[in-house]
Amino acid sequence: MTERTSMHGQWSSRLAFILAATGSAVGLGNIWKFPYITGEYGGGAFVLVYLACVVAIGLPVMIAEVLIGRRGRQSPINTMRCLAKEAGRSRVWSLLGWTGVLAGFLILSYYSVIAGWAMAYVFKAGSGVLQGLDGAAVGSVFSALVSDPVQLVFWHSLFMLMTGLVIARGVQSGLERAVRVLMPALFALLLVLLGYALTSGGVARGFDFLFSPDLSKLSTGAILTAMGHAFFTLSLGMGAIMMYGSYLPQDASIAKTSLVIAGLDTLVALLAGMVIFPIVFANGLEPGAGPGLIFQTLPIAFGQMPWGGFFGTLFFLLLVFAAWSSAISLIEPAVAWLVENHDMGRARATLLVALSTWFLGLASVLSFSDWAFDFSFLGAQKENGIFDILDLLTSNFMLPLGGLAMALFATWVMRRADVVEELAMGDGAGFRGWYYLARYVTPVGLVFIFLNGLGLL
């Protein structure tokens, strides 16, 4: 049995890994992004494709990514190099680690800006300025925020600072404990909101929008985006889950663990959708409103329900925590690599990565005001220049291509016997089912969606 240990430490148990990986997966992707892109791409059919992608593509890739990580036990760049060598293949595979680090850096640069919006809303909800507003008034509060770069830079800086602090101290100590309490709390609060949404008068239309697929509305751009979102929301394809897998104890079952994480992540996204769309329809709002959707709908709900100020503050606070535990996983691979290869302390490595990410984030800050420009992408109208470009580039291309490479690596490059050993689930139907999916179905599906999305099919 080949067993390496990670120089960066290890999770205390399988549960700790589940919590951390769920902390990475559940974030702005579920609560902010899923509803707004579902709104933009027309609802039910988009949701259906997204769910199919989670099962047929996301889950097999997640198992591949965790197993690669646990076998290599280093940062993704070095893990890929080491395992390629072990299999007698070219070191070019470490490129996959590099593109992952780059994707994490690009994603975090704008992710932090959106997390900053949520931070601003913690205070808005707490101070009562959202109380009793109608849809139009809530909309103007949001526009005022995003067109004020000074405020946005402040919140973006604060969020990057918070992320840097946890990373500098090492992922395991702080994160494990925080996620254990906050994730269940976020979940409970979503249920409270669901209770409100169910009585808001928009349930029938909201649920219809989400759950009755009209396949004729499905554009090629929608299919590509739904697949890209499956990767984004599960934190796949850039090495975050590989990195966390490298801290996973040897005796934990990778397949079962992945199933739990993907299940929880999907549940949170669907809950968020079931909360937002009834409110959208009950108040005559536009489902395709774009990245501001949750900030233009949820405050209406908080403004009308008893204890709204309290629930609103708590909700945005938990959203910030969810974003925080995702952000950490976005830069951990880069920091771990600097520590491994450049003999840097964690603190210096973190400073370097966090500062550059912060700097690039300024472009996204300005995408909502001075630098905004329109363009259309595979049938969707986008208006927020560099922010949209970074998001489309990473979610729709870099993450799925990274995931494709991981599925291929685990099933074509690594020796089958090594893979059987690492997954430790025997060589029965379960293993074969996954192996067959990851070796054939997932790659073919991915390539098909790419070619289709690019208009080549």
Binding positions for ligand PHE, rule: CB under 6 A:
24-25, 27-30, 107, 232-233, 235, 238, 240, 326, 329-330
* 189 CB burial (10 A radius; 0-12, 13-18, 19+): middle
Question: Is 110 or 358 the residue whose CB approaches ligand PHE more closely?
Answer: 110
Shortest gap between Cβ of 416 and ligand PHE (angstroms)?
Answer: 28
Shortest gap between Cβ of 442 and ligand PHE (angstroms)?
Answer: 18
Distance CA 343, CA 338 (A): 7
Question: Is 111 or 196 the residue whose CB approaches ligand PHE more closely?
Answer: 111
Question: Is 138 or 272 the residue whose CB approaches ligand PHE more closely?
Answer: 272
Question: Is 142 or 232 the residue whose CB approaches ligand PHE more closely?
Answer: 232
Strand stretches in 357-439, DSSP E: 375-377, 380-382
Shortest gap between Cβ of 60 and ligand PHE (angstroms)?
Answer: 17
Distance CA 376, CA 304 (A): 36
**Residues ≥6 apart with Cβ < 8 Å to 71:** 2, 4, 79, 83, 414, 418, 422
Distance CA 67, CA 17 (A): 13
Check residue 168 and report its DSSP letter.
H
Shortest gap between Cβ of 118 and ligand PHE (angstroms)?
Answer: 11
Check: CB of residue 234 under 8 Å from CB of residue 312: no
Per the listing, tokens 């579920």 go with 30
Question: Is 107 or 152 the residue whose CB approaches ligand PHE more closely?
Answer: 107
* Phi and psi based region of residue 248 (left: phi greater than 0; alpha: psi -120 to 50; beta: remaining): beta
Shortest gap between Cβ of 200 and ligand PHE (angstroms)?
Answer: 25
| Of 324, 271, 258, 199, residue with least CA distance to 38 | 271
Question: Is 76 or 303 the residue whose CB approaches ligand PHE more closely?
Answer: 76
Residue number of the CB atom closest to ligand PHE: 29
**Residues ≥6 apart with Cβ < 8 Å to 432:** none
Residue 382 main-chain phi, psi, to 5 deg: -115, 145
Residue 127 main-chain phi, psi, to 5 deg: -85, -10
Question: Is 27 or 245 the residue whose CB approaches ligand PHE more closely?
Answer: 27
Shortest gap between Cβ of 258 and ligand PHE (angstroms)?
Answer: 14
Shortest gap between Cβ of 357 and ligand PHE (angstroms)?
Answer: 13
